[in-house]
Chains A and B, each alone.
Chain A
């Protein structure tokens, strides 16, 4: 299916521009008209890190007229293995400013707009509304869901990519024409289950493999050429050296982009939605997260364990997993409850969705309870998967 070009062409190209973009201009599908569209395009890159680096550099070189950069971080030496828009002399500098300088060096005709803020629910719509298309190069689930939801609400194409070790995924989420990120991944994984690149590593050049797909898709959408990745997920495996696509349909029950959407505005708190947790909790949960099904099996088989609910008493009143005892999180974090924990039984922690129990798990493990685990997805997962008759909140 062909899409109309996202932007109208600029009035003209200067002589300098014709010289600079000549290798584009002689491609019949691009031509003067396509290049003029790039000139009038406004593209926002969220993040100037691994994916943002190649994305910004190629978008600039291609002649995109206005590039916005959302970035609040500074350049660290460990970024340089993959974030090629920054260099040795940029260590310690603002990433946004470092990226801007590189873009100007590549193409001084590009206008760069810096948004040196952390993207959140209070600023996302105001920033996004200034652009035709959003390229996502963020490194965490909370921002990815925020970007998706804002793009759906503002009807902006969301050129998405994500990377881990040797694997990459890319797609174009555009709810007016196809599925959104939530049609593919309705909810993030339980906290601590999926490591970030900072924890699990990433092959530096993978950023270029996925970032260049994102730029290709952005250019196609701006010019209205070719077959965009709308409704398709590109899966790249660098070890196998394979690219393939699978189909994604718009989910008729999608909470935000379906006709029956239950969510008509941004969520109040995306960190809470994703159960964002500390590095310590993430590390503790890494190898010590069990599913509610595993828990059910343990309960049914009479495993030698104590099941501890770390929520607050009022939450415990609403619903709980049978056989659990209540020890609110604070009593574990401040250490007062540690002495009363049994030494001879395995400790199994849970909370509402898995974030608080992961925090407690870190403390309990470091107190010597090395076989302690927590329940991924918490009591909500229990209600959803094991006992749907329970109320949720």
Chain B
């Protein structure tokens, strides 16, 4: 199925959960925040968050600059 990852269409296998997707697309699990449909999902809930077709997923990286 297709989800929208950081604004682009992205093919994922059916029954993919958020943790699976993050593991595929991010080099690390810390220092990032992940939002599904404009709401942040805490890291401990990623594996219990199923993805549905068309879901908008945003992987944000913490930046330190000021």
Residues of A within 8 A of B (CB): 47, 49-52, 136-141, 144, 161-164, 167, 169, 183-190, 193-194, 196-197, 200, 202, 233, 235, 244-249, 251, 253, 289-291, 293, 376-377, 381, 384-385
Among B44, B62, B66, contact of A185 (Cβ-Cβ < 8 Å): B62
Of chain A, the residue at the smallest CB distance from B41 is: A249
Evaluate whether A247 and B31 lie within 8 angstroms (CB atoms) in the complex, with A169-B60, A188-B62 already known.
Answer: no
- Interface contact A184-B40, CB-CB below 8 Å: yes
Evaluate whether A140 and B64 lie within 8 angstroms (CB atoms) in the complex, with A189-B28, A193-B28, A246-B58 already known.
Answer: yes
A-chain residues with CB within 8 Å of residue B39 when the two chains form the complex: 246-249
Measured in the bound complex, the distance between the Cα atoms of B26 and A376 in whole Å is: 12
Measured in the bound complex, the distance between the Cα atoms of B41 and A253 in whole Å is: 12
- Interface contact A233-B40, CB-CB below 8 Å: yes
Residues of B within 8 A of A (CB): 23, 26-33, 35, 38-40, 42-44, 58, 60-66
- Interface contact A50-B60, CB-CB below 8 Å: no
Give, as a whole number of angstroms, the nearest-CB distance from A236 to chain B. Answer: 12
- Interface contact B31-A193, CB-CB below 8 Å: yes
- Interface contact B23-A184, CB-CB below 8 Å: no
Give, as a whole number of angstroms, the nearest-CB distance from A155 to chain B. Answer: 22
Among A161, A376, A385, contact of B66 (Cβ-Cβ < 8 Å): A161
Measured in the bound complex, the distance between the Cα atoms of B30 and A141 in whole Å is: 12
- Interface contact B66-A186, CB-CB below 8 Å: no
Give, as a whole number of angstroms, the nearest-CB distance from B20 to chain A. Answer: 11
Give, as a whole number of angstroms, the nearest-CB distance from A197 to chain B. Answer: 4
- Interface contact A185-B64, CB-CB below 8 Å: no
- Interface contact A249-B62, CB-CB below 8 Å: no
Of chain A, the residue at the smallest CB distance from B44 is: A253
Measured in the bound complex, the distance between the Cα atoms of B35 and A167 in whole Å is: 17
- Interface contact B66-A189, CB-CB below 8 Å: no
Among B28, B42, B66, contact of A52 (Cβ-Cβ < 8 Å): B66
Give, as a whole number of angstroms, the nearest-CB distance from A302 to chain B. Answer: 21
A-chain residues with CB within 8 Å of residue B60 when the two chains form the complex: 169, 233, 235
- Interface contact A186-B65, CB-CB below 8 Å: no
Give, as a whole number of angstroms, the nearest-CB distance from A278 to chain B. Answer: 16
- Interface contact A139-B31, CB-CB below 8 Å: no
B-chain residues with CB within 8 Å of residue A384 when the two chains form the complex: 29
B-chain residues with CB within 8 Å of residue A47 when the two chains form the complex: 66
Can you sample 6 A-B contacts with CB below 8 Å?
A: A185-B31, A189-B32, A196-B64, A233-B40, A381-B30, A385-B23
- Interface contact B61-A194, CB-CB below 8 Å: yes
Measured in the bound complex, the distance between the Cα atoms of B28 and A187 in whole Å is: 11
- Interface contact B28-A190, CB-CB below 8 Å: yes
Of chain B, the residue at the smallest CB distance from A381 is: B29
A-chain residues with CB within 8 Å of residue B65 when the two chains form the complex: 50, 139, 162-164, 196-197, 200, 202
